[in-house]
Every structure is written in structure tokens, then in C-alpha cells.
Structure 1
Amino acid sequence: MQDQDQRGFDHGEIEPRWQREWEEAGTFHIPDDADDPTYVLGMFPYTSGELHMGHVRNYTITDAYARYRKLQGDEVLHPIGWDSFGLPAENAAIERDTNPRDWTLSCIETMREQMQAMGFGYDWEREIATCDPEYFRWNQWLFQQFHDAGLVHREASEVNWCPDCETVLADEQVEGDDEHCWRCGTPVETRELDQWFWGITEYADELADDLEELDGWPDNVRQMQENWIGRQPGARLEFQVSDNGPVEVFTTRIDTIYGATFFALAPGHAISQALAEEDDEIRHFVEEEADPEGDEPNGVRTDLTATNPATGEEIPVFVADFVLSDVGTGALMGVPGHDDRDHAFASDQGVDIVPVVAPSPEEVPDVSEAAYTDDGVLVNSGDYSGTESAAAREELTRDIASATDHVQYRLRDWGISRQRYWGTPIPVVECPDCGPVMVPDEELPVELPEFVQTTGNPLDEATEWKRTTCPDCGGDAERETDTMDTFVDSSWYFLRYVSPDDADAPFDVERANEWMPVDQYVGGIEHAVMHLLYSRFVTKAIADMELLEHREPFENLVTQGMVLADGEKMSKSKGNGVSPLAIVDEFGADTARLFTMQAARPPRDFDWSETGVQSANGFLQRFHETVEMFRESPPEGDEDAIAAYVAREVDATIAAARESYDDLTFTEALRETRDLVGLLRQYREYTDPHAETFERGLSVAVRLLAPVTPHIAEELWSTLGHDGFVAEASFPEPAGDVSDAERERQLVENTREDVRNIVDVAGIEDPEQVTIVVAPAWKHRALDIAIESDAPNVIGELMQDEEIRAKGDEAASYGQDLQNERQSLTSALAPDRELAVLEQATWLVEREFGAEVSVVPASEADESVAKKAAPNRPAIRID
């Protein structure tokens, strides 16, 4: 623990005090009658019981942006809640011999206290928890509405089964080439179970098409969703398979059909299963050898043949493990000349490989060693030879009798059934006479029974809870014992925040139409497919029920990178986690917030660094000290050139910080503000500052830091004598024109760097005089001509100007320089402005080198020095 005197301020006293004052004043509460507030939201946390650094980063990003928008004068909706159902809580409760509800509620209480200690400016009156019956009743209500809209079905299906979690996983929850559970890493098995599905595939086209409208989303997230939806336009057509009749296939390359030299069936295809009952070799392959995840395609030849509908030729039929039952039709035409996988299989099985597409009729590819997979011109394709691939696809689809245009998707309907306890009960009663019957609205919510530890599905063991009566006929019936996938909870929670206490509807429709969509959403890239795709689907489905005018839930999205430790992701399993609370205890929440925000832009990963934490804390100490010194001993200096320079830097900092906050880059805003505080300290050390200029600089810096370090900002705002909270102040505005701020800054920094280089290269230990010479007006005009001219020879253009031409060899030499650097030329300040800017900055050079500094126009300088002066790059003489 640091010594109090060394720390400079007591964060342990300051931070809780301002948190109490915000709460008592309702600073972050948003009233129900707010007029179209800015909606800022971080993906709500799972109730693990303790904040980790990933949480701190995610919620500091959203909090900083929400506070910034409030400083800009917006009403801001910034709520928080808890993703509180799920298997981990169930497992944790079993390990601790308690029940999931008690465990979850204790976790919520702990995490709420931790979030409050971080100073996050939430409207806590809108807090929700998905395990609350008043929340999950609306999951059940949505299930009913989706059922009535034809978006719910139950069927026996091959599902992904995690034997460790003892539950079904959606396709999106199976990760890696080895297909393991997204939560526990256990290899996933395949089982056939009766499952409830939500019809997300009904929205596949809209989900794919609308990605183009999400301009505020990262390109990689949109690409991941597009790939997952996997829309493939192509054709369906039939091959006659011996005595089994027509078998349908889907292909995106019907233009290659003349090169189809084999036919393949999935091991699970009905024909394959029938053959396995009659043929031991096929049965052994189907039951023992088939490996869809294997590195090489494998299969077994059957006695069947298939008739190629384009050529009429009989081709061999295989049962092959690279054909999947649930992809396409479970059958495919093998075209080894133009598909890499088919080529590998045909080479192993000794099947003919025939080229039927070529770059041109004269360049028929050799496909004996590798497939040619590009489009081109058809060859060896009968009457279609010479036709380009795209045209051939249209003609063949039209001409082959069984062929029809078809679009296939990788996306599958969303299996929401989970065989666990801690989730939303599916509101269905199974009646032996009526079949599955929806629970009536007036009986919602269907709540969970008391938790019983057991293997398998706990609700299946809840005999009394299961026993019920059929809502339709009144006869004996049983409740559905599956619970909903927890991604159902998070697929619409952002709507509940607009009216979290509404007992009559999931959300207030009028308010949701006004407040949605979420203006800025922040969360991890790992949710790019599951949560974000499901949320988009549910929003569109709700809109089609005329409950919402918006069809997309999130207008802008930031996916934040990970916090690393020595290059690896922090995790409990690796034992490399850093406790945010330990940082808060030692250095304060503001230090933790500042470090996480200045270390990297939100989308990037960054390494946790104790040195970085200490640096952030040291800066806050210095800033606090600077403000305290101002209060205790106000300066009385003149409003001189130095004050003008500082005032200009304050304005430039405001402009740069605003741009950074608008873009949610943050690092630039914080770097700019730190530089401003450093400049103000230099100003005070160098001379007696002008009081108004100095105080304005401090007040600006406080407001620029307030979104990220809110507690110390409030303290310093009060110390400077301002009324009210800085959280409710206005974002500062530049007092002067900042249109040339960047060029002015660059001019000063380049000039200072040139002085350093000359001193270093010349080995000048104690320079006495630094003369900075500004280029003459004719060179500025020459630069403007060179930038604006389209002529190939800029020198000829320059010589048309009488004054420039009068400079003779000097003009020719400078013209040649401009010609050589033409691609990188940038405009410069006017000569008088360049002179004024440099004059205001001379104190920085004088302070650094202890030398007298003068800035002069070229007309007043030694000719040998003046000739070297150029716009943007004054000449320098050091004596």
C-alpha cells in the first residue's frame, strides 16, 4: 500500500464519496419521458461472482462513452443487468451443495458492489436479472408468440451433445476443428433427440442482406455473420440411382456437370443405411470407419450406379464420409476435375478425372494432379462447349428437366432445448391426447421447482412439478422438462431496459420505438455469431409481430480486445488473472479505468502492466498536485505570447479529444489530455502564468478526463470552484479557430526536432542563440502552385509567375525540389501565421536548451540561412 503523502490524494475517501453523491442526486437516472435518449450499452455480464479485467475494460468503454455523450448535452440511457441463467451457476451450486438461485443472487450482489466501486454511471433503477420470473415470463411469452407465428417447431434431430455438461449445444456453441464444447472444452458427440427449434432460417436472406446496412459494425463481425449464414446460390437436380429412383443433389457449379464422374452419399443417407443392412463392408464403414472430421475424404464403393442427367452416362456410387446428412441433401455429384475435395477422393478411389472448364478453349488445364476451380469456358461439355461458366449455369439449369434454381444456407434453425435446470422452462404441456399444448398467458410464468441435484435432466426428476393438466382438454399431462438456451435471454434484454417494471408486456412499445435501436453497443468478438445473430433474428421477428418499428437492434458496435498477461489471455485456469479489486484497493478505480483505456484502442488486445498502472496513477497524482497548487497560489502573470500559445494548445486539445471520443478510440483523447497537463506544468515552471489561461487549461483537462476518471475529475472540478457535478457539465468548446491546429502543431514539433538534431549532430553543448527563419512569401506561393497544378513539369508553371521567375537560380532550385517531392507535398500556413505560431512557441525551445530564441522572416536573416528556409520547414541557425 502506498503512503498517503506519496499518493497525493486519498482515493479511498474520494471515490465512495462521489459515488454516494451521484446516487443521491440521481445523476444517471433516465426518466421514462426522456425524448429519444442516446442508448449506450455493454453486453451484460454473466453472474460469475467476481469482476475480471475483461469486465473492467468492457464497462469502462461504455461508461466513458455514456459520460461523454452526457457532457455533450445528450440524455443518456445507460443500464445494466445480469445474464443470470446458465449451466455454470448450476454446476457451481452443485459443487457448493446449494441451489443455483441462491448462488446466483449472491453473485449478483457481489458484482453489483464491485461495479459500483468502479464508478460506473448506470441507471440502477433499470437493473434486470434474467433469472427473475418477471423477466423470464416474457421469454415464455415470446415462445408462444413465435409458435403462433409459425417460427417454432419440434422434431427429432441429430444434435450436438456435451457429455460433461449433459446438454444439447447449438451449432454455434461447438468450437474448433476438434468440435469441442464452448464452455468446458469436452469433445462433442452426436445424438438424436426430440428438440424445440426457433425458425431463424426463415430470416436467412434478410439477416444476410441487412449486413450491408450495418455501417457502424466492424467489417470482421459482418463477415463472420455472412460466413455463418453461408448463403450459396445454385441448383437442385436429380440423378437416377439404380433401382432407388431419383436422388436430389444441390450444386453451386452445375456448369461442371459434364465432369461428374462419381456420385456420393452421406453415411446417414437412407440409401446408405439400407445398404449397410445388406453389405458388411458398407456397414463397417458406416459404423466404424467414417470420419467426417478426418484430414482425407474416405469412402466405400457400392454396386449402385447413378445416371448423369446431362450425359446419360452411368457413374459409380460411393458412401463417403465427407458428405454430411444435414448439409444440402446428403448426396452430391463428384466433379474431381474442378473440386479439390472431390479430386482427392477420386485419386484415392481410381475414379476418372475429366476437365470440363478451362481458362479458354485453347488452354485446357491438366487436372491429373490438381483440380481447376475457377470459372472459365466449358470444354468437353457437348453442345455447351465454348459457353462461359456463368451463362452455362443458367442454360443447364433451364435445360435439365429436373434442375431448378435453389439457394442453400449453412445456417440451421436455432435449437433452443437444453436438458438442464437453471434456465427458462419451456411453456409447453405434453398431453397424451392433444399433443404439445402451449401454457396459457394467464398461467405464466411457469416457474422452476425446488432444485434437486441429480444426473441428467433435473426437471425430469421433478415428478410433482411435471404433473399437471392439459390446458385444452383438462386431462392428465406433463410439463416439458427442457429449458431454453440462455441465448434466448440475451436475444431481447436490451428491449426490457426501456420499461423493466412493466407487468403487462415485455416492453413498452411506444417507448421502445422511440428509444431503440441501441446507439452504441460494446462487447467481445466471441459473441459475433451467437448473441449478435440471435438478437438480430429476434428483433426482426418481433418487428413482424408489429411490436417494434426497428428491424436491427444495434446501430453501432465496438468489439473490444482482450486483456493479456505476458501475451496470454487472462484466465482462472492459467492462474494469470489480475484482480481489479486489488488495483482499486491500492491505486483506486480511476487508475484502473485510466490504464485500461489508455493502453490500447478498444478493438485491440493489450498486455497488463504493473508499470503502466503505476504510470497512470502517477499522472493523476501530478494533475491533482497541479490543481492544488493553483488553488493555493493563483498565478498573476501577463497575457503574453506564451499564454497565447497555451490557449491555442488548449483549443487544439479539445478538438482532438472530441474527435477521439466520437470515434471511441479514447487513447488519443487521453494522450492529448496528458500532454496538456504536462504543458500546463511546464508553463508554471517556466514563468508566472496568466491566471485565466491557466485556469481554463485545468478546467478543460478536468472535463476531458471526466469520462474516464470520473471521481478525481469531480474532486478537481470542485477544487477549481465550479458548481454542480462535472458529470453534468458541458464538454469544452474551443475559444478560437482550430482549423489549422494540426498544421500549427506539426510546424512547432518539426522545428523543435530540427533544433535537437542540429544540436546533437553538431555536438553543441551550450547553445547561446537559436535563430529560426521563416520562408519568404514567394516560396509559399510556389508551393501552392505546385500542389494545385496538373502540369507534368511544375518548374514551367512556376516560371510563369513574374515574382518567382525574378528569383532566378534560387527559384529554379526550389522548383526542382518541389518537382522531386511532388507526390508528398502538403499545404503550409501563410508566412505571417507561420511566423506568429513559431514566435509563440519560442519559450519551449528556450526552456529546453537554455538559449535565446528569435524568429525572423527571411528578409531579415542572413542570406545563406534564408535560402534554406521553406514553407513548413524554417531554416535554423544555432550559435
Structure 2
Amino acid sequence: MARDFQHTAVESKWQDRWDDENVYHVEDAEADPTYVLAMFPYTSGNLHMGHVRNYTITDAFSRFRRMQGDDVLHPIGWDSFGLPAENAAEERDTNPRDWTMDCIDTMREGMRDLGFGYDWDREITTCEPDYYRWNQWLFRRFHEEGLVERRAADVNWCPSCETVLADEQVEGDDELCWRCDTPVETRELDQWFLKTTEYADELLDAIDDLDGWPASVREMQRNWIGRQEGATVEFDVEGHGSVEVFTTRLDTIHGATFFALAPEHPVAQSIAEDDDAVADYIDSVDPDEDTDEKTGVDTGLTATNPATGEEIPVYVADFVLADVGTGALMAVPGHDERDHEFAVKKDLPIEQVVAPADGGDVDVSESAFGEDGVLVNSGEYDGMSSAAARDALEDDIESAAHETNYRLRDWGISRQRYWGTPIPVVYCDDCGPVLVPDDELPVELPEFVNTTGNPLDAADEWKQATCPECGGDARRETDTMDTFVDSSWYFLRYTDPHNTDAPFDSERANAWMPVDQYVGGIEHAVMHLLYSRFVTRALEDMGYVDDPEPFENLVTQGMVRLDGSKMSKSKGNVVSPERIVEEYGADTARLFMMSAAQPERDFDWSASGVESAREFLDTVYRLVTERPTEAADSDPAVDEYVAREVDAAVATATDEYEDLTFNNALSEARGLASLLVRYQSDATPDIDTLERGLSALVRLLAPVAPHVAEELWADLGHDGFVAEAAWPEPERDVSDHDLERALVENTREDVRHICDVADIDDPAAVEIVVAPEWMHTALDLARDADGNVMGAVMGDEELQQHGDAAASYARDLQESAEALPEVLTPTEEYEALERAAWLVEDEFDADVSVERAEDAPDDVARKARPGRPAIQVHEE
């Protein structure tokens, strides 16, 4: 297909010039810093359409802010450690480093081809020793602060990946590995933990202040931290002493009709030693199996309810989880659905001890009543509200104590794999675990050994070390760090990427942080964002940064789909960015991506949409390169109309870019381009007005289509790069322009409607008559009236002089009193239609007149309304 410009040549030319002039480099000491960042990519190889969308969002926004005069930090790097690289290397009989570096080269070239304006001087690669050295340094600092712990723990183990997974990396009800979808097992291993729980309250409470984050992400973070206010209380289990439970509903304790233990609970294990039935049941329970059916075994023992003194049966049950609460619970089937289901199955008592506060009836034998209410069947506590009863019972039951519980667990960072940051610890028979000193960092990875299990276990020479404390023989830790450690602070390294003395200079970091605009996938709403918040908050406490929150504003971009399904290699529905760039150009791909939907929304890839984006760029290219350059007599009214539309487009597009609603900003640019095409082809344009409109249009497109914008900026005769040009500004007040636009568009649509209904193919003239001033007065009175519109309007002596016409209009206003329109003044309305008359003339090839009501025939004028002029179409 013939193109108006050769995108390959144009894009290559401007990419080279940007590089030669280092256009996107930003100095450290800038006066007006703005930090725009996309979540850096995992080095998987070729870019996909999700990458194109994510990185075009930040690129467009950073270009926009740079043109507004900000000093913009817009860096990129590579999240390059991780198990997929190790697996890929094994499959290809190579090593993870070579495979990773090849991927980085491919992705870097793809990003350059797309014209992303990064400060490549700040590029970081997390698998390089000059980066992961600082992971190890931070590990030491966290250890010094008491935020690192090594302990035996039940961990999530992926048998396919042969590594530990954090809770956040176990997905879905089926508990599958987030990387390979293998069912996750439970194992007990010695692990290194970062004590995220120390910051649980701070992390939770600060969510309320994250006004620039999506509400859905904030709620996901709240739910993951999962703070619960409740109480611990002890039940005496026959032959096994006191067993503590945690409950958020101590007010229901009088309704506890059985006691339940998790199969892993120490008391359950102790009971199993003497009870074969219990032992057999525990052996039959698969802790990794997720089933809706609740099972359990009666131990034959009883527990004493501390509130009532009653003996209740003790069960070992699979619906009690060892890592939730204390692994034991008081079961209240009347007020908990889970307990109710089990009680019905085992024919256990179900008692009501809370009634609805409004006095309504509930039947707890049918289903549990789980809401707060008023206590019943609870002795001296009858009649108390649930909240008051909880407080009273905490005071009255000797073993009861208020407690805050959390879903959040400490962050287990140990991974039994090769391709990650070595944990800087050695083990000495005399001294135990010892941290590697700062001056011996980084502990670098040895050469890759392709083996099953943990390859570092096979690196015998590398494992041999000297104890930093006693100088004796020691062996290195063979676990590496979870790769989320890499991404938990990388945004700080960008502020000072070449520092060899520290991970970053605090003064530089504080000058840029927090990130003003962060963009990434919703899949990172818990893990990456929570860990980043934890690390930044801890660093603030240590005095390394001033702001405890790393990201001020967050956008989670939607997916790019094909025929309703997410693009994926496994489905065979991937559209290659390289092919689109080659066939249509990078600007076309970017323009389509940003025009299709708001960043948060999913959207379907469309071949016709891509073609439309390219056709639009060709139109703009012709518009600029074929513009008239010689002055001619023009119509001042038409020129004024176009000038005002230019200003309105600039004002609206600016607001939309600020809000990252690029599709709306580009819609304004399209509308402006369409107008300028008509102005250039169907009117005699004023050269200065046209040049200003074209200059504004090119700059409105520059954030999204930077290559063709540079080409056209040069063609317009401007010096320097459009990437460094000043953003356009309106030259007049356009605050009411939405009303003006609506007036003009509605009027044009009404003319079309009249012609269609009257079957007028070739109108000779169109009369447009604006409403009289008295109608505007009536509308103002109606808007201020307190319900009685008729009285407010007809009570005005001046309006009374218009008799039946005023009464009829007042009735119309009364009927629409709930939705009275905002309109221009009579003079503004008349002038706006005068300026736009040329559009009607051009569309219908007819003479157009705009008249005030007092100058028009009565039979036409009486039909006019504020904001809706009367229209008379005359045939030939």
C-alpha cells in the first residue's frame, strides 16, 4: 500500500538524532523533577503487545511532561534474575547469563525501534554483580535492624521448579505455582525471612493515604495484610492442658458446641500418638488438596468452655488451618457457616446466641447468622450488643486477651536455585551463620552447572569459604534470594545507577522520590507493590530515604486481547510488534494502542484499527507537507472559529494527557486534524491561523507519535526537536467552549435532520435564529427556583409582558426542571453560530444566515430556545 511517508526511514532518522543529541538524558540536580516509571520487564526475549502498551503509556506521559517544562526521569532496566532463565538455559544447553543477555539485546533493540525515550545512561540489569551486590548490602542492613531471621518453617514447595514459593506466589483455590501451574506442596526447611510483619500496621494504615492508586489495588493490599481485631482465649482440652484459640467473635462463645484442631496442631499430633483413628485420619489428610467437603474425626476428648464451664467434643478437622490464627478454634455453628456445615454433617448441636439488632427472627438450624446483633441465651450478657459483649467477655474471662491478628506472613526469600542473588552468609561449625562483610561483597555466582536440584549445591569449590569471625573453614549459603528482592528497590537505583560506594545517594534519591507516576500490571498488585512499600518504609526508618511510600500515583494497565482472549504463545494468538512496526511503523502501533481505550481497560487488537491509525498519520502528514504558504484574503469569522477550536483542542487534550486518558486526548487531535483539513481545502485559510493550528496539532501528537511529529515539526520550519519544544497553550479563554461546541454540533445535526425528514436534497438557504434574551432570563429564573418554576417565571413583570409565549415556555421549563441545560448568553450564542456558519455552508452548499430573534420572522423565532436555535431550510 502506498504511504505518504516512509516510516522506516523517518523513524530510523529521528532515533539516530535523539541518540546523537542524548535528548532523553536528565541530570541529577534538576529544578523541577518528575519521575515517570514503568515496571521494568522480565527478560523473556521478544517484546509482546503488553510490553508495547505498558511502555508507550509511560513514554507518552514523560514526553508530555517534558514538553511542559519538567525535568523528567524516565529510565529502564531489566528484571533479569529468575527461574525461567534457568529453565530456558537448561532446555537450550546454555547458561542463564548468556541466554539472559541475548534476551536483553533483543528487547533493547525492540524498545529502540518503538522510539521509547529512555535515559539509557541509567540502564540497570539486576543479574549484574554491580546491582546484586547491593541486594546483599541491603540484606546486611536489614539484618542489623533485626528485620532478618533464619528459622525452620513449613514452606510452599514447587516440585517442578524445585524451589520455595512465597505465599503470594501460590495462586488460586487449587494452590498452583505462579510460574508453572504445578500444585504446590508443603515442606519444612530452614529459610531466611524478611520480617514484613513488623510493618503490618504501618503498611495497612498508610493505604488510606494512597489517593493516586486504584481503589481495587488498595483493597487487594488491605485484604492481603488482613488485619483482624479479636481476642485469644484458652480452652482446657482433656489430658492436654490449655489450648489457645483466636476469635473475632468472642461475643458468640456461649454458642461454642465443639472444639476443632488442625491436623498439624501439636495437640492433634499428640492425640494421634495414642489414638489410631486420629492418626489414620491425619495421615489421610492432604494439606495441599483443596476441597469443599469438610471432614474430621472425633477424638473422644472434651474441651471446657471457659465462659460456660460446659464440656464440648474435640475434633481434628481439615477445615482448620495450621497457619491461620492458632490452628485451633472454638466452633460456633449457629453463627459461622463453615462450623454450621460441619455441625450438620456430624449431627452436632447448633445454638443461637446472637439475634438481629432490629428484632427480626432467624433460624440458625437452617443457616448461620453471621452478623453482629444482640446477645441471647448468654446468661448475664443477654441484651448486650455484640461489640459491648466482646469487651465485657475480654474483661471477665481470665484467659481472654485482646489481640490483633494478620493474614500477612514474613517474606521468605530463600530460593533453592542458581539464577538469583547469593545470600551473603557462610556457615561455620563454631560460629554458626555469619554474614559476609561489606568489603567482601558482592558474593558472585560461580559458573553455571546444569544439574537437578539446586546447582549451587554442586559448586563444591565455590561453597568453600572462610569464616569472617574466627577465620576457620566455612561453607557458603547455597540459597539465592527471591527475585522480588531485586524489584523491591530498583526504582531507587535509577536515581544513582553508577554509585560504587552505596546502592544510591540519599540526597539524589530524595530529590526524585517518590515516583510521580508508576505503571504496571495488576498481577503485581500484591507481591511487588507490597514488598516495595515494605523495603522503602524500612529504609526510611534507617534514614536512607525521606518518603516511606515509593509510588505516588499508580496505573495498572489492562490487557491486549485478540478476539476476546488474552494474547499468549500457548494459544497461538500473538500479534508480533516487530511485524506491525515493520509494516505500519512504530508511531502507528503506539497511536493505535493509546487510542483504543483508557490505560486501565482491556481491549481487543484490531487490524482495522491499526490501518485507521496509519491512515490518520498519513492525513496529518499531507496536511502539513501540502499546506498553502502564500497569504490570501480569508474570512475573519472563519479564521476566528478555527483559532478558537485550536485553543479548545489544546486545553482539552492537555487535561486528558494530565489524567493519562490518552484516547480522549488523541480524539481531540483527530477532531482538530479533521477541522484543519476542511479549513485548508474548503475555505481560504489565513496562513498564520493555519500554521498555528498545524503547530499545535503536531505537538499534541508528539507524545504518542514522536517520529512523524519530529518530521513535521522540522517541515514547519521550527528549530530543535519537538521532543524539547514547549507544549502549546490556548491564547484565549475557552472555559465555555464545551457549550459552544455542543451548540454548533447540535445545530448542524438539526439541519441534517430537517433535510432528511423534509426530503430536501439540495437546500438553497438555511436560516438559524437564536432565542430572544427574555427566554434566557426565564431559564435563569427557573434554574434558581425552588421547585415552583412556573411561579418564579411568571412572577417576573418583564416576562409577563410576553404573555402566552412566556407561559408556554414556563410550562416547558417546569416539565424539565430537574435537567435544565447550561447555555451560552444570547450574544455568545449568536457569535458562536456566526463563526460556525461556514461549516453548514460547506456541508450543504447553501447560503446560511444567523439572526437574532428580534430580526427574524415571528413564525420562525417563536420556535427558538436557549441553546437550541430555530432553523428554517429553504429549497431551490
Give me the TM-score of the superposition, normalised by structure 1: 0.98
Task: Give the match for residue 427 of structure 1.
Answer: 424
**Is contact 2:260-2:330 (8 Å) kept?**
yes
Aligned-partner SS, 1:7: coil
Q: Match for residue 89 of structure 2?
A: 93
CA deviation profile, 1:539-598 (whole Å, cap 9, x unmatched): 001111111111000000000000001111111111111110111111111001000000
Of 53, 70, 95, which aligns to 1:74?
70
Describe the shift of the 1:634–1:354 C-alpha distance in structure 2 as closer, same or farther (beyond 3 A).
farther
Q: Which residue of 1 aligns with 2:617?
A: 620
> Residue 302 of structure 1 aligns to which amino acid in structure 2?
T
Alignment of 1:479-628 (within 5 A): 479-628=476-625
Q: Superposition pairs for residues 392-407 of structure 1, below 5 Å?
A: 392-407=389-404
Report how far residue 222 of structure 1 moved: 0.3
In structure 1, the residue corresponding to 2:668 is in which secondary structure?
Answer: helix
Task: In structure 2, give the amino acid aligned to 1:535.
Answer: S
Indicate if the aligned counterparts of 1:290 and 1:299 stay in contact, CA closer than 8 A. Answer: no
Which runs of no fewer than 5 residues in structure 1 stay unpaired?
A: none
Tell me the residue number matched to 2:247: 251
Aligned equivalent of 1:871: 866
Q: Kindly state the Cα deviation for residue 293 of structure 1 after the two structures are TM-superposed.
A: 2.0
1:809 is matched with 804
SS at match of 1:246: strand
1:289 Cα deviation from its structure 2 partner = 3.8
CA distance in 2, matches of 1:353, 1:195: 43
Q: Is residue 348 of structure 1 aligned with residue 373 of structure 2?
A: no
| 1:783–1:827 CA contact under 8 A, matched in 2 | no
Tell me if structure 2 keeps the 8 A contact 1:776–1:859. yes
Contact kept? 1:303, 1:317, Cα under 8 Å: yes
**1:223-238 correspondence runs (5 A):** 223-238=219-234
The aligned residue for residue 827 of structure 1 is 822
The amino acid across from 1:608 in the alignment is: W
Say which of 834, 837, 844 aligns to 1:839: 834
Which 10-residue stretch deviates more, 268-277 or 441-450?
A: 268-277
Aligned to 1:208: 204
How far the C-alpha of 1:78 sits from its partner, in A, is 0.5
Q: What is the CA distance between 1:47 and its match in structure 2?
A: 0.6
Q: Secondary structure at the match of 2:570?
A: coil
SS across alignment from 1:40: strand
Aligned partners of 2:627 and 2:680 also within 8 Å: no
Q: How many residues align?
A: 873
Q: 1:788 aligns with which of 784, 789, 805?
A: 784
Contact kept? 2:747, 2:868, Cα under 8 Å: yes
Q: Alpha carbons of 1:635 and 1:335: their partners in 2 closer, same or farther (altered >3 Å)?
A: farther
Cα 1:395–1:681, aligned 2, differ >3 Å: closer, same or farther?
same
SS at match of 1:233: strand
Report what 2:454 is aligned to: 457
SS at match of 1:601: coil
Q: How does 1:361-376 map to 2 (within 5 A)?
A: 363-376=360-373
Query: Which residue of structure 1 lines up, in the alignment, with residue 708 of structure 2?
Result: 712
The answer as to 2:850 corresponding to 1:852 is no
TM-score by length of 2: 0.99
- Give the Cα–Cα distance (whole angstroms) in 1 for the partners of residues 334 and 708 of structure 2: 69
Question: Residue 260 in 1 paired to residue 278 in 2?
Answer: no
Q: Distance in 1 between matches of 2:358 and 2:852?
A: 72
Shift of 1:361: 8.6
Residue equivalent to 2:116: 120
Measure, in 2, the Cα distance between the counterparts of 1:478 and 1:659. 60
Q: Which moved more, 1:843-852 or 1:179-188?
A: 843-852
What SS class does the counterpart of residue 707 from structure 2 fall into? helix
1:196 alignment counterpart: 192
Question: Residue type of the partner of 1:276?
Answer: A
Aligned partner of 1:730 in structure 2 is: 726
In the alignment, does 2:801 pair up with 1:799? Answer: no
Distance in structure 2 (CA, Å) of the matches to 1:290 and 1:226 = 30
Asked whether the equivalents of residues 81 and 127 of structure 1 are also in contact (C-alpha less than 8 Å), the reply is yes
User: Equivalent residue for 1:475?
Assistant: 472
1:777 Cα offset (Å): 0.4
Instruction: For 2:841, give the aligned amino acid.
Output: E
1:130-169 aligned at under 5 Å gives the runs 130-169=126-165
Counterpart pick for 1:314 among 292, 311, 320: 311
Show the counterpart of 1:275. Answer: 271
Structure 1 residue 277: Cα displacement:
2.4
Give the aligned partner of residue 107 of structure 2. 111
Which sits farther off after the overlay, 125-134 or 802-811? 802-811
Is the contact between residue 246 and residue 329 of structure 2 (CA under 8 Å) also seen in structure 1? yes
Q: Matched residues in 2 for 1:294 and 1:583: separation?
A: 46
* 1:15-94 superposed matches below 5 A: 15-94=11-90
Secondary structure of residue in 2 paired with 1:263: strand
Counterpart residue identity of residue 432, structure 2: G
Residue 77 of structure 2 contacts residue 125 of structure 2 at CA under 8 Å; is this kept in 1? yes
> Which residue matches 1:220?
216
Shift of 1:635: 5.4
Superposed counterparts of 1:624-643, under 5 Å:
624-630=621-627, 633-634=629-630, 636-643=632-639
- Larger displacement relative to structure 2 (450-459 or 103-112): 103-112
8 Å Cα contact 1:94/1:453 also seen in 2: yes
State the secondary structure of the residue aligned to 1:157: strand
CA distance in 2, matches of 1:625, 1:689: 16
Q: Which residue of 2 aligns with 1:765?
A: 761
Does the CA contact (< 8 Å) of 1:660 and 1:668 recur in 2? yes
Structure 1 CA distance for aligned equivalents of residues 569 and 307 of structure 2: 60
Give the 3 Å change call, closer, same or farther, for CA 645–91 of structure 1 in structure 2.
same
3-state SS of paired residue (1:420): coil
Secondary structure of residue in 1 paired with 2:609: helix
Aligned partner letter, 1:854: S
In the alignment, is the contact (CA less than 8 A) between 1:357 and 1:364 conserved in 2?
Answer: no
Structure 2 gap ranges (5+) = none
| Greater shift in the superposed pair: 793-802 or 474-483 | 793-802
Separation in 2, partners of 1:634, 1:108: 51
Amino acid at match of 2:871: I
CA deviation map 1:810-830 (0-9, x unaligned): 111111111111111122111
TM-aligned CA deviation for residue 875 of structure 1? 1.2
Cα shift at 1:22: 1.0
- Contact 2:32 2:70 (8 Å CA) reproduced: no
